[in-house]
Amino acid sequence: METNDLVIGGFTVKPGETKQIEIAVAKLYTDTDICIPVHVRRSKKPGPTVFVSAAVHGDELNGIEIIRRLIQLKSLKISSGTLILVPMLNVYGVLNQSRYMPDRRDLNRCFPGSAKGSLAGRVADIFLEEIVKHCDYGIDLHTGAIHRSNLPQIRANLNDPETRTLAEVFGVPVLLNADLRDGSLRQAAVESDTRILLYEAGQALRFDELSIQAGVKGVLNVIRHLGLVNRKLRRKILTPYIANHSSWVRANCSGIVHDLKNLGDQVQKGTPLAEIGSPFGEVIDIVTANKSGIIIGKQNIPLVQEGDAMFHIAFFSEDDAEIAEKISEMQDALAPPIQDIAR
């Protein structure tokens, strides 16, 4: 909980200040400077410090737009504590429209990093030391990979009561109790005593309006709950459902795909999910659900090779039909313009 001057990348932000910061990282080989953009808003009143980060994977763009909209919200006034917004962490990947760093490493597998390590390791080290270690809480924004879409969902350590409360407050219908992955930002944050949520929604290299609006609303819900914003919620938060397990259904053959189910659909074990056909029009195989649950992720490209992951299904102990209804409610609730959320 920061109460005095906050120093990020050599820049000092005093209580009550709002400041745009550029944290220098390694130059391109063209001698062009590369900096991580950081927007900091501080209240004069002490309170929690929260970071919101996007584009750890450089092709995951929804999070960039979520943070841009948060910065542009004139009604977003921090009444206590500090909000640190990082619209793009993997600037190199954003420039190249690539998931990876120039050294072909996945930045989200390089934490905690090292000041003398690989390029990805150095960026990870800078972010951990300059941002994460100042923070009590964090929200990391992601999308599905290239040609894959994710239903808006929160992944977190739901065995921790406070983290679970934050996940529920975020306000999306599906929560996934996810293990920490070695080298991930989430693991490094937890080891630095920073509670963190991972928001997954939409697909790489595309804006998805529902995912963006759900993300903006979710971040606002969390910082209101933590006391950074003193406005009360106008709308009831959706009741979330926790999935402790999920798995991908894979193609048993190669061919051309005709989808039969979509994101958010309720499926039973054995439900047909897609047909795989030959170029001559015959159906070679029908892909079916391996368990009952809700589709929370799917491949979008209508071509598959044998073994490709096609549908990501989350398994719940609750009534799947009720969860599917809540997902539909979320889509209806996000119909109003985003400007109305913070009023």
Q: In what order do the strands lie in the sheet with 283-288?
A: 283-288, 272-277, 255-259, 303-304
**Domains in the chain, CATH or no CATH each:** 6-237 (3.40.630.10), 245-333 (2.40.50.100)
216-232: pLDDT as tens digits: 999 999 999 999 998 76
3 state DSSP class of 324: helix
Report how far residue 102's alpha carbon sits from residue 151's, in angstroms, rounded to the nearest whole number: 29
Q: What pLDDT is stored for residue 3 in this prediction?
A: 63
pLDDT at 270 over 80: yes
Confidence of residue 317 (pLDDT cuts 50, 70, 90): confident
Q: Is 129 in contact with 122 (CB distance < 8 Å)?
A: no
242's CB contacts (< 8 A; 6+ apart) are 158, 175, 176, 177, 316
pLDDT at 23 over 70: yes
Instruction: State the Cα torsion 162-168-171-176 to the nearest 10°.
Output: 110
Predicted model pTM: 0.93
Q: What pLDDT is stored for residue 342 in this prediction?
A: 44
**DSSP-assigned letter for residue 277:** E
Q: What pLDDT is stored for residue 186 in this prediction?
A: 97
54-78: pLDDT as tens digits: 999 999 999 999 999 999 998 899 9
280's CB contacts (< 8 A; 6+ apart) are none
Q: What pLDDT is stored for residue 234 in this prediction?
A: 60
User: Burial of 123 by CB count in 10 Å (0-12 exposed, 13-18 middle, 19+ buried)?
Assistant: buried
Give CA separation, 34 vs 8, 29, 295, 323, in Å.
16, 11, 39, 44
Report how far residue 246's alpha carbon sits from residue 93's, in angstroms, rounded to the nearest whole number: 29
Q: What pLDDT is stored for residue 318 in this prediction?
A: 72
Q: Is 12 in contact with 5 (CB distance < 8 Å)?
A: yes
Q: What pLDDT is stored for residue 108 in this prediction?
A: 98
Q: Is 30 in contact with 53 (CB distance < 8 Å)?
A: no
Q: What pLDDT is stored for residue 328 in this prediction?
A: 79
Element housing 241 (H / E) = strand 241-250
**DSSP symbols for 9-56:** TTEEE-TT-EEEEEEEEPPPTTS--EEEEEEEEE-SS---EEEEEE-S
% helix / strand / coil in the chain, to the nearest 5?
25, 30, 45
Tokens of 251: 């193609």
